[in-house]
Structure 1
Amino acid sequence: MDHDKASELEKFKSNEKCEKENEKRICENGENAKSNRPLKRQAIMAMGTFMLTLGAGATAGFSAILIPQLKHERHGHISTEMVSWVAATASLALLFGNLLSGYLMERYGRRNSQVVLAVFFISGWVVIGFAKNMAMILVGRFITGLSQGWLGPLGPVFIGEISTPAYRGFFLAGLSLAIAVGVLMSHVFGTLLHWSYASLLCGLFPLIGGVILYFAPETPAWLATQNRIDKCIESFKWYRGTCPEMKAELDKIIAAQEKRDQSMSKLSALKANIVKPEFYKPLTIMTVFFIMTQLSGVNVISAYTTDLVKELMGSKKYADAAMLSLDVLRCASLLVACVLLKKKGRRPMAMISGIFTSLSLIALAIYMFSVKRNRISPVITIGLMTVYMIVSNLGVVPLPWNMVGELFATETKGIGSGISVMTTSVAYFATIKTAPGMLEGLGHHGTYMFYGLSTLLGTIYLYFYLPETRGKTLLQIEEYFRYGKKGRTKDVDNDASIPCV
């Protein structure tokens, strides 16, 4: 009998130990000890932002199918100036959206801003879909461009604040994938349908996203900054669960908020926060990173695919096929990036992608310079371009959008992410505008060499200053910039309960 009791006791202890180990494993992966509902909730609400981002990608790619159809309908009677306005109106509106985004997300919250954004996005696509003249098309393009710029800082901040550290990189990388898929879908719609029907189909993306986000709780971090602690706790538990590791992070969020000077006005608090290292250090890093991404030529390749393919292959015959092939290749590469960023981290992917992106561009420049145009081998040129498309989308393209939602402290997320994304909007416009002149003045080989060297210099800078954020909580990242590698607070250094891999 005693032997049976001893055996049962050992069995009970063994089961208890297994349950504790299982609970720890589940918590480290961002799941509740009893179920994986928190992770599912994060994924569902992130899907709302992803659907809005599909609309942003469709905005970026829509002019590629809109302009050829307009030319065909008007039998070529459309001025070059009007064509440029159809293409550029959305990118011009990006800046206004960037400026608006930071204020709205801080004033009204991340969730509310996205719901209102969805309404604007839908209205823009509807205006284009029912447009009877060029003026209405331009108005619709401006509204969708404004919405695209509005979403730029807002989407990564929302995703970063609701997601578990173990899965945050995966969700944030999904935003870049959503942009690429949106571009692809707009091209497919426009290839198969009239541009008015294609526009209305693109409007379904923000419609679905808005419906999903309507049911989302506000982010815990924003609620904490508003001193709505009860709501913050409720939201945190809904998104992240109640296991000990999650409770420890929640306690730190509340404790950090209680330490802040509540007597200061918002303007005074902002002035005090922007001179802190946890603001200006990540701002410098993100500014350089976004400019580097644009100077790598990724958007130039997309915008001038036809001309570039003609130069690389000596023919325009396969321009449409090349456009869709590059879209698919971009999507596949970004899908792989989502997985690698979760497993390998940000720094390794930034270094690998930056180095090989610059090398592929430099190799392409050297090859095109060393041979005459009629001796170019399409196998070599398209092969190098394929390598470039793959490696650039593994890190250089998605990482800035991934990290802009991670690096800034909660109090300065709005202004920091807004300025960073506004930087890429300016750089985007500048690179697209100057590309034709560079291709004509420097030649294709000179332009590729410029983009390759720019990417290389940016990668060298990131090697020295870009931190690893994989697995770290947002508070830990803030402490890193505040105190540096060796001066971090005791609470952060000794917190073994929160995985920092």
Structure 2
Amino acid sequence: MWVLYIFYIVGWLAIAFAKVPWLLDVGRLLLGFSNGIAGYLLPVYLAEITPKNLRGRFTAGVQMMAILGLSTMYIVGPFINWRILALIGIIPSLVQLPLLIYIPESPRWLVNVGREEEFETVLRSLRGKKANVFEEAASIKDYTDSLKRLSGGGMLDLFQPKYYHSLIVLQHSGGSNAYTYYSGVIFTSAGLSKYVGLSTLAVIQMITAIVGASLIDKFGRRALLLVSSAGLCFGSFLTGISFLLQGHHLWSEEARILALISIWVYMGSYQAGMEGIPWVIVAEIFPINVKGAAGSLAGLTGNICSWTVSYNFNFLFQWSSAGTFFIYSAICGVCVIFIAKMVPERKGRTLEEIQASLTTSP
């Protein structure tokens, strides 16, 4: 994490004080690299240190905090210079960097590398001095020992049938990056004020991200994913309808309002579930001996899908503005079916229970 926050600081500084274009590229590269690491590292760390009844909301909180920061940038961005905005981006890392000295290592990582005395001390500090951690500590030790006997934790372990539902490619394939990166273009094309659209969207995203993170341990990962993906399907379908109406010069004013509402529905649904819960699932289902490889593969898969959607959006939008969003709606519809069929609920279970069930399942 030290390296992560240093990269964030250097990346924002490179952007803030750039005098030549290549320095902007360096800054973006460092920030992209940091985001790629943080997107997996932080959910895994939080999943490993939190008790089972709080694990979902803490892990989903990573994406919630990310969207709070992004939404703040959306709101204040039009009023200040972009260099000042980049300097503001440094503040969270500067605040968190010195606090890292108070953050303990993951107890599961400690027992995996043989530091058992430190493992028990850390686990007790995380659960409270009066908490009885004997049963939890024994469960973690026993499962870690069994993993060491059974497997070396290679990349081939990730391609066994029991793991494939964790790599939710559909998280990015339903147009989320197109909405995120081109929402201003979509608002303008629909005849709406770009600033009003982005500002209201930022507020909607903040509210739904907070609601989603607070409900995940109550209603479960699967239920929120189903509701979220259904909302994505409906929202992108409404966006397609709004552009279809405008293309045929029908109900122009109503079509603009529909475009605004549809983007609210889509992005609100995304932040409530599909943005963060897939990473919660990845953090939960992979045992510690393959977590590193799992994170690399899941991150690579997600980034390839994100790039593909972002790269093709302009071409699709020029081909057919309405058709683009109908395609996204169809993909999100497939996502609903995929989650209903392939993603079981794992709320209220320890990581060892989840991973043992996957190991022993046919």
**TM-score normalized by structure 1?**
0.67
Number of the residue aligned with 2:302: 424
Q: Secondary structure, in 3 states, of the residue corresponding to 1:471? A: coil
Q: Which amino acid aligns with 2:199?
A: L
Aligned match for 1:151, one of 38, 41, 56: 38
Aligned match for 1:321, one of 196, 212, 217: 196
Q: Which amino acid aligns with 1:480?
A: S
Deviations 1:144-170 (A, max 9, x none): 211111212211111111111111111
Cα distance, 1:151–1:280 mapped onto 2, change above 3 Å? farther
Cα distance, 1:175–1:373 mapped onto 2, change above 3 Å? farther
Q: Distance in 2 between matches of 1:130 and 1:360?
A: 39
Q: Which amino acid aligns with 1:309?
A: F
Number of the residue aligned with 1:247: 134
Number of the residue aligned with 2:56: 169
1:469 aligns with 2:346: yes
Q: Distance in 2 between matches of 1:148 and 1:115?
A: 14
- The Cα of 1:309 is off from its aligned counterpart by 1.0
Q: Distance in 2 between matches of 1:222 and 1:292?
A: 30
Cα distance, 1:201–1:368 mapped onto 2, change above 3 Å? closer
Q: Distance in 1 between matches of 2:194 and 2:132?
A: 53
Cα distance, 1:364–1:458 mapped onto 2, change above 3 Å? same
Q: Distance in 2 between matches of 1:386 and 1:304?
A: 14
Are the equivalent residues in 2 in contact too, given 1:127–1:136 (CA < 8 A)? Answer: yes
1:349 aligns with 2:224: yes
Q: Secondary structure, in 3 states, of the residue corresponding to 1:336? A: helix
- The Cα of 1:419 is off from its aligned counterpart by 0.9
Q: Distance in 2 between matches of 1:339 and 1:180?
A: 15
Number of the residue aligned with 1:130: 17
Cα distance, 1:304–1:115 mapped onto 2, change above 3 Å? same
1:237 aligns with 2:124: yes
Number of the residue aligned with 1:284: 164
Cα distance, 1:245–1:358 mapped onto 2, change above 3 Å? farther
Cα distance, 1:429–1:282 mapped onto 2, change above 3 Å? farther
1:453 aligns with 2:330: yes
Cα distance, 1:245–1:476 mapped onto 2, change above 3 Å? farther
- The Cα of 1:350 is off from its aligned counterpart by 1.0
- The Cα of 1:189 is off from its aligned counterpart by 4.7
Q: Distance in 1 between matches of 2:6 and 2:229?
A: 37
- The Cα of 1:478 is off from its aligned counterpart by 0.1
Cα distance, 1:135–1:329 mapped onto 2, change above 3 Å? same
Number of the residue aligned with 1:402: 280
Q: How does 1:18-417 map to 2 (within 5 A)?
A: 114-241=1-128, 246-261=133-148, 269-271=152-154, 274-276=155-157, 280-281=160-161, 283-287=163-167, 289=168, 291-312=169-190, 314-315=191-192, 318-366=193-241, 368-369=243-244, 372-375=247-250, 376=252, 377=254, 378-417=256-295
- The Cα of 1:449 is off from its aligned counterpart by 0.9
- The Cα of 1:373 is off from its aligned counterpart by 4.5
Cα distance, 1:234–1:192 mapped onto 2, change above 3 Å? same
Q: Which amino acid aligns with 1:218?
A: E
Are the equivalent residues in 1 in contact too, given 2:147–2:289 (CA < 8 A)? Answer: no
Q: Distance in 2 between matches of 1:293 and 1:257?
A: 30
- The Cα of 1:385 is off from its aligned counterpart by 2.5
- The Cα of 1:374 is off from its aligned counterpart by 3.0
Q: Which amino acid aligns with 1:464?
A: K
Q: Which amino acid aligns with 1:470?
A: K
Q: Distance in 1 between matches of 2:209 and 2:147?
A: 39
Cα distance, 1:144–1:436 mapped onto 2, change above 3 Å? same
Task: Identify unmatched segments of 5+ residues in structure 1.
Answer: 1-113, 488-501
Are the equivalent residues in 2 in contact too, given 1:282–1:407 (CA < 8 A)? Answer: no
Q: Secondary structure, in 3 states, of the residue corresponding to 2:284? A: coil
Percent of aligned pairs sharing the same letter: 23
- The Cα of 1:367 is off from its aligned counterpart by 5.2
Q: Which amino acid aligns with 1:382?
A: L
Tell me how many residue pairs correspond in the alignment.
359
Number of the residue aligned with 2:314: 436
For the aligned residues, what is the CA RMSD?
Answer: 2.2
Q: Secondary structure, in 3 states, of the residue corresponding to 2:185? A: helix
Cα distance, 1:452–1:121 mapped onto 2, change above 3 Å? same
Number of the residue aligned with 1:66: none
Task: Identify unmatched segments of 5+ residues in structure 2.
Answer: none
Q: Which amino acid aligns with 1:438?
A: L
Deviations 1:438-483 (A, max 9, x none): 1111x12111111111111122111112121211110011012112
Q: Distance in 1 between matches of 2:287 and 2:162?
A: 9
Deviations 1:166-192 (A, max 9, x none): 111111111111121121233345333
Are the equivalent residues in 2 in contact too, given 1:360–1:384 (CA < 8 A)? Answer: yes
Cα distance, 1:410–1:242 mapped onto 2, change above 3 Å? farther
Number of the residue aligned with 1:65: none
- The Cα of 1:281 is off from its aligned counterpart by 4.5
- The Cα of 1:283 is off from its aligned counterpart by 4.3
- The Cα of 1:416 is off from its aligned counterpart by 0.6
Q: Distance in 2 between matches of 1:351 and 1:365?
A: 21
- The Cα of 1:193 is off from its aligned counterpart by 2.5
Q: Distance in 2 between matches of 1:372 and 1:257?
A: 60
Q: Which amino acid aligns with 1:166?
A: N
- The Cα of 1:275 is off from its aligned counterpart by 4.5
Q: Distance in 1 between matches of 2:82 and 2:268?
A: 30
Q: Which amino acid aligns with 1:420?
A: A
Q: Distance in 1 between matches of 2:348 and 2:118?
A: 25
